[in-house]
Structure 1
Amino acid sequence: MTNTETPPKSGLARLLPLAVIGAVALGGAWLLGDYLTFEALRDNREMLIAYRDAHYWAAVAAFMMIYVLIAGFSLPGATIATLAGGFLFGTFPGVLYNVGAATMGATIVFLAARWGLGEKLSAKMDASEGRIKAIKAGIDENQWSMLFIIRLVPLVPFFVANLIPALVGVSLWRYVVSTFVGIIPGGLVYTSVGAGLGEVFAQGETPNLGIIFEPHVLLPILGLAALSALPVALKYIRGKEAI
């Protein structure tokens, strides 16, 4: 009788996708640092607009493919790409192109991390005892809240927010939905800044990329994060009352 079971992947094979992402990220930071910049967007704006006007859907496809590669391989220029989406396609539908491409790129990182580390680490946490198991159980009970919080809080780096869910066993569909919805507020802010770049270019100025930390923008986003955390707080309060 033959054994048809698939042999388990070696540790090196599991880490290969993450290693590829890391290598491409380092190479991209060195090779593309001078190209994915605000200055490059400013200097090539007329050519980009002309191509968009002549080949709109080809421009959309090319833009989203580049954005997916930037997000998926952690290349420099994600903010510039978001601004370019707004500049070329307007706040709407530019925000949909930006958020959609960023979500697809983030999913590449998630799948690579889950393949390399996530499944094994999550299983170890489930099999552990004491505080580690309690932490894992708490995360599992509040996955939606946790996922939205790490997306909404601007201080959590995008790459870190891609890795954490993979390491604690979040399902793919929850990750994709929470990523798409959770990055909409920040994506909308930067896309709208990009939509106004024409005037910025005309005046010879640079955009205010710190706008997301201004109170009138930051406070509503933090309010959404607080709403996401509300179910966790209610569970905690009810648990205390039951003791």
Structure 2
Amino acid sequence: MNLRKLILLVVIAALIASFFIFDLGQYLDLKNLKTQQEAFSEQVSANPWFIGGAYFFLYVLVTALSLPGAALMTLLGGALFGLFGGTLLVSFASTLGATLAMLISRFMLRDWVQAKFSKRLMGINQGVEREGASYLFALRLVPVFPFVLINLAMGLTKLPVRTFWWVSQLGMLPGTLVYVNAGRELGQLNSLAAAFFKVVVASTV
């Protein structure tokens, strides 16, 4: 492993470890978000640009590091910034974070995986080269398929970064809209499963 990969690995490991050591996941709990919603809304009213920027940065960080909590942050985006503002922030933050996660996977793992499983991956790479955009778009439209796995898996292929970006932006938009809209009713949601059910129902209508 070269020095650049080692440094990146140490930084990523430190960030992920900090998330769990300091139990930061407690702040991405539905019950906590509902309790703090009014206080958050007051902060948005007082400092909309600063809070919006902080939210965007945190969303990118969570998705880039493949940490749990993106779905709850999407709901929070709807609750705090409304349908238009929440969708705008989440759409670009989620796409940027997903692209960074894909690039981390590609930089850290692709050479090793391709060298070790080159014959097995040959067909996959050829399929991605032929139908990469449509294949990725189909995966993005299926809400039951974990986006974290899509990001990491695509990093192991030769899919161009620009293709990954625009397809992800478009493919994740319908689910983003439904989740953000559900977030506008954050106070009435009893569980993340209820929001997920809304997304699944909306995607099948």
Q: TM-score, normalising length from structure 2?
A: 0.86
1:104 alignment counterpart: 96
Determine if the alignment matches structure 1 residue 14 to structure 2 residue 5: yes
- 1:110–1:163 contact (8 Å) kept in structure 2: yes
Q: Radius of gyration: which is bigger?
A: 1
Percent identical pairs in the alignment equals 34
The structural deviation recorded for 1:213 is 2.4
The number of equivalent residue pairs is 202
Is the partner of 1:34 in helix, strand or coil? helix
Change (3 A) 1:83 1:92: same
Specify which structure has the higher proportion of helix: 2
The structural deviation recorded for 1:11 is 5.4
- In 1, the alpha carbon distance for the partners of 2:111 and 2:129 equals 14
- 2:75–2:179 contact (8 Å) kept in structure 1: yes
Q: TM-score, normalising length from structure 1?
A: 0.73
Root-mean-square deviation (Å): 2.5
Alignment of 1:131-170 (within 5 A): 132-170=121-159
- In 2, the alpha carbon distance for the partners of 1:156 and 1:150 equals 7
The structural deviation recorded for 1:92 is 0.8
Is the partner of 2:60 in helix, strand or coil? helix
- 1:68–1:105 contact (8 Å) kept in structure 2: yes
- In 2, the alpha carbon distance for the partners of 1:168 and 1:132 equals 8
Change (3 A) 1:18 1:105: farther
Determine if the alignment matches structure 1 residue 172 to structure 2 residue 161: yes
Change (3 A) 1:55 1:168: same
- Gaps in structure 2 of 5+ consecutive residues: none
Amino acid at match of 1:80: L
2:199 alignment counterpart: 212
The structural deviation recorded for 1:170 is 1.0
- 2:90–2:176 contact (8 Å) kept in structure 1: yes
- In 2, the alpha carbon distance for the partners of 1:99 and 1:18 equals 27
The structural deviation recorded for 1:168 is 0.9
